[in-house]
Chain A
Amino acid sequence: MMRQAALNWRDRVLDVLSHVPDPEIPVVSVVELGIVRDVQENPPRVVITTTYSGCPATQVIQADIRKALDDAALSEVKIEVALSPPWTSDWITEDGRKKLLAYGIAPPPKGTGAASLKNAQAATCPRCGSIKTREISRFGSTPCKALWQCETCREPFDRFKCH
């Protein structure tokens, strides 16, 4: 009985968080991006992490989560930021990856989240599906994205960086 209640509370918090969009890529939630690391009931808290150290969205994300929790009458839930283990793009969920692709952002290749993009395989064009693509700029419109171009349909597109 106790266990059931605990699960329900946790699921309720997760449900609230799954409706908090990333401020820069609003089609995915902070849960789908892997920013939410843990939900604990005792004491009540949400553990989040940051993607890039200097990402300006970090403070907005914290404020958005705070507001969503408050609106759901969960004001007692504190927000904690954990640095370790460091965020990796491997934590983006399968649903998150599908939504990124549909939004026009090539999702990061999975399982290679460690070091380098230098020898990374070509991105798949989110518009036409071609793999004849090339990197234009390693740094793009936000810290988490690089700018690529498709050689087949010629369209430029964002690629979520493998990190």
Chain B
Amino acid sequence: MTIPTLTSKDAHFDYVLRLGDDALILAQRLGEWCGHAPALETDLSLANIALDLIGQATMFLGYAGELEGKGNDADKLAFHRDVNQFRNCLLVEQPNGDFGRTIARQYIFSTWQYLLYQQLARSTDPRLAEIAAKALKETTYHAELAAEWVVRLGDGTAESHERVKDGFEWCWRFVDELFSVQPLDPSIVTSGVAVDTATLRAAFDSALATTFAEATLPLPKFPRPVLGGRKGHHSEHLGHLLSDMQFLPRAYPDAVW
């Protein structure tokens, strides 16, 4: 169970936080759809994806707390950090918008996460490898479901086509961050703990091209990319999300089930 010695402890902790925070924040966003989705089927789908992501966040953040060594568990990390301590990508904190934008965001995220987990399942850190191997099975479902909806909306009515197209255009500025921001210490990539996400881009682009062709969607234009989430520089939206998500355990710190 030894983790390669090249690994800087802080970079390792930071990396696992990224994985956990991506899942946690997107789960919270998807939870906002509960009871509001366009149809019962989609309500169930989005809530179940959120549930899977909360499970993944619990595993990653629990491990992050162990690496940090300050006695924080997953709950403590989720509910007792402030906005600039979160390491999620900007894509997941964006407001849901309409169903078209939510599906565009889910497609981008789940396709990326699927490719990421495939590689992470071979991490030299056995804890990350086993979490990724388990989560990969769930994320496979998410990516498939999102791809089916992209096709259904893109190749649907004129209205659904426009909406999902607009959704992708909105989300597209956050795509580069997923592939371009490397871990704090490059040694955790070279030692095989972390995945070099730049290597996932070709497979991502190819999956996207296939889905977009089937969905009769034009490839998104390229707005100026926005970065910052991995350094804790978030949009205004994350603070509002946290004030909602963290309210209960902060107001009632002794609350138990």
Contacts and interface: CB of A to CB of B under 8 A. Distances in A.
Interface of A: 50, 52-56, 83-87, 114-118, 136-140, 143, 147, 163
Q: Which of B44, B53, B129, B133 has the most CB of A within 10 A?
A: B44
B123 to A, nearest CB: 12
Contacts, number: 72
A139 B45 contact: yes
B140 A52 contact: no
Contact of A53 (B41, B45, B47, B135): B135
Contact of A83 (B44, B53, B131): B131
B38 to A, nearest CB: 13
Given A52-B51, A56-B51, A83-B59, A138 B141 contact: yes
Nearest to B41: A137
B44 A137 contact: yes
A155 to B, nearest CB: 18
Nearest to A56: B51
A139 B48 contact: yes
Contact of A143 (B51, B59, B133, B145): B51
B169 interface: no
A55 B135 CA distance: 12
Nearest to B127: A83
B52 A86 contact: no
B10 interface: no
A48 to B, nearest CB: 14
B134 interface: yes
B77 interface: no
A53 B58 contact: yes
B58 A116 contact: no
A116 B140 contact: yes
Contact of A54 (B40, B55, B133): B55
Decide if the interface of chain B is mainly helix, strand, loop or mixed: helix
Contacts of B45: 137-139
B53 A54 contact: yes
Nearest to A49: B134
Contact of A86 (B53, B56, B133, B144): B133
B138 A52 contact: yes
B227 interface: no
Contacts of A85: 133
Contacts of B41: 136-137, 139, 147
Contacts of A137: 40-41, 44-45
Given A84-B130, A116-B144, A139 B44 contact: yes
Given A86-B133, A86-B134, A118-B144, A54 B54 contact: yes
A53 B56 contact: yes
B81 interface: no
Contacts of B49: 139
A84 B58 CA distance: 16
A92 to B, nearest CB: 15
B137 interface: yes
Contact of B55 (A55, A87, A140): A55
